[in-house]
Amino acid sequence: QVQLQESGPGLVKPSETLSLTCTVSGYSISSGYYWGWIRQPPGKGLEWIGSIYHSGSTYYNPSLKSRVTISVDTSKNQFSLKLSSVTAADTAVYYCARVNGDSYYYYMDVWGKGTTVTVSS
């Protein structure tokens, strides 16, 4: 079955760039679906960050768009998140997920276990 696994540094300094990768197994990214990132600050709710298609087409949360880049590497069956100029407010558990549905009803049907990223000097 499809499995997703997040990886990347657990600690990032303020003003630097947060970089995470999601490795997909059990399914080829090139075969379809959007692939997305969601985060959850400690003790708070879920926030959608953005998603990408294997062609490179993206959707971004407008509130983060100026700082976010999501890219895909089909040869490695991975997609990645970069968030620039981080502050303590970006401290969160970051999840990657498969995005199912169509252009008016996307939803996340398979999730990674999540990785904790702390922004601190």
Cα angle value 78/80/81 (rounded, 5°) = 165
Helix/strand/coil percentages in the chain, nearest 5: 5, 50, 45
Cα angle value 30/32/38 (rounded, 5°) = 100
Which one, 45 or 120, has the nearer CB to other proteins?
Answer: 45
Which one, 51 or 78, has the nearer CB to other proteins?
Answer: 51
Among 48, 54, 70, 78, binds other proteins (CB under 8 A): 48
Binding to other proteins in span 87-106, by CB under 8 A: 95, 100-101, 103-106
Does 107 sit near other proteins (CB under 8 A)?
yes
